[in-house]
Amino acid sequence: MGRGSEVTTGYAEEQTARPVPDRAPRQPDAQAPRLRRDDLVYLRDATLHLAGRQIAARYRRSLLGGLWSLGPPLAQLVVFQFVFTRVIPLGIPNFALFLLTGILVWSFFSQGVSVATGSLETNRHLLRQPSFPAALVPLVAVVVALIDYLIALPILLLAAAFTVGIGPAAAFLPVILAIQLTFTVGLGWIFAVAQVFFRDIQHLVGLLLMLGFWLTPIFYARSSVPDRFDIVYQLNPLAHLVSAQREVVLEGRLPALLPLALVGLAGAVLCAIGLAVFARFRSVLSEEL
């Protein structure tokens, strides 16, 4: 069900090796309410710097390095493939590809949300720098989860190319990933701040992710869900994201755009709320930690 609860950030371990870029974004004022271009460049560079540092810390002195990120999804694939083709056959065509797509989508989401939730506690030393943009910390956790997804994605695409084929609709995949990234970052921002004030949040998030795994069509087809329960899947953003990736990669057709647009809108709203929460509580976060 993803490695989010098992992965911890590595900023503290590496903070002496490679310092965080030493320029914080210019604070907006009444005459300049928007971020300047160089501020956006700083935020981009700082995000990539911290994400790279975290990944380097995670796999330091490891023989396989980043290839270990393939371990959990491939292990899940082997187990579920055996259970649902040999023990409880579901009769889904190209089940290995069907399953791997769902596992990768869910792993990206669950790892991003769960690690982002506890990221402010883990990296409290960064928050003690008054000029450091605290919202970068949960964002980096989600970006690292995205990188893990991107490491595994070529395996899915190659397997699909040699079995069902890859059609032009696969070009829509980055749009789906951008929507999922926005949605995941928004949740991560909100949960991260809430965790600082209410330490039960991380336990609640873990419980919700466990339930969400079973309520998302990862190893079973959504078409097999009885009609009376369909509302549960209509309201589940991850169900739409999983279905959309399967449609563009495995079925070679564009997904239904309205559900994706609604998920994207929800993600944008969550991001706006998350940034507003950070702006409201930034001055007290380091004290609470």
195-248 pLDDT, tens digit per residue, is: 999 989 999 999 999 999 999 999 999 888 999 999 999 999 999 999 999 999
Local confidence band at 4 (pLDDT 50, 70, 90 cut-offs):
very low
Local confidence band at 5 (pLDDT 50, 70, 90 cut-offs):
very low
Asked if the model's pLDDT at residue 1 lies above 50, the reply is no
CA 143 and chain centroid, separation: 7
**CA–CA separation, 86 and 101 (whole Å):** 20
Question: 47: which residues sit within 8 A by CB, 6+ positions away?
Answer: 136, 139, 140, 143
DSSP 150-170: HHHHHHHHHHHHHHT---GGG
| % residues pLDDT > 90 (the chain) | 54
Residue spans per domain, the chain = 4-15+34-288
**CA–CA separation, 176 and 89 (whole Å):** 30
CA 122 and chain centroid, separation: 18
| Range in 25-29, 76-80, 111-115, 151-155 the model is least confident about | 25-29
**CA–CA separation, 147 and 48 (whole Å):** 11
Q: In this structure, what DSSP letter does residue 225 have?
A: S
Q: Residue for token digits 């990539």?
A: 48
Residue scoring higher pLDDT (227 or 59): 227
Least Cα distance to 186 among 230, 223, 138 occurs for 138
Give me the pLDDT at residue 39, please.
Answer: 63
Give me the pLDDT at residue 12, please.
Answer: 42
Give me the pLDDT at residue 97, please.
Answer: 94
∠ CA(137), CA(142), CA(146), 5° rounding?
145
Least Cα distance to 241 among 161, 176, 162 occurs for 176
Least Cα distance to 100 among 179, 171, 161, 153 occurs for 153
120-168 pLDDT, tens digit per residue, is: 988 888 888 877 888 899 999 999 999 999 989 999 999 999 999 999 9
Phi, psi of 62 (to 5 degrees): -100, 135
